[in-house]
Amino acid sequence: MSEHVVSVKSYVGIFAILIVLTATTAGVSFIDLGPLNTVVALTIAVCKALLVALFFMHLRRSSHLTWVFATAGVFWLLILLAFLLGDVFSRGWIHQPTGWGG
């Protein structure tokens, strides 16, 4: 099995991009975008997570089996988020009793 050697220059470049994206997240947090604040912050966070997974975790040049497990992890996260959002959005559907005097 041949190992792919990643240069220090590419690590430093990816690190610089991550720092710029972090500064962008901090800068955008001071701007009122209304409902788009969350969308912009999550988009930047997904970009940073992809960079870390692809380059620092060496997912970019790994085997297909590693890609399957990484995809399964992301799919499992989406399932958990779907259940979480289903719980949060359905909390007002059931009438809550008011107690003894109600």
The verdict on 51 and 86 lying in the same domain is: no
**87 lies in a domain?**
yes
Report the mean per-residue pLDDT for the chain: 90
pLDDT in tens, 40-80: 999 999 999 999 999 999 998 899 999 999 999 999 999 99
The verdict on 48 and 84 lying in the same domain is: no
**97 lies in a domain?**
no
Q: How confident is the model at residue 102 (pLDDT cuts 50, 70, 90)?
A: low
The verdict on 41 and 11 lying in the same domain is: yes
Domain that holds residue 81: 63-91
Select the more confidently predicted residue: 6 or 24: 24
- Record the pTM: 0.75
- Residue 2 CB partners (closer than 8 Å, separation 6+): none
The verdict on 26 and 53 lying in the same domain is: yes
**75 lies in a domain?**
yes
The verdict on 53 and 70 lying in the same domain is: no
The verdict on 27 and 56 lying in the same domain is: yes
The verdict on 37 and 69 lying in the same domain is: no
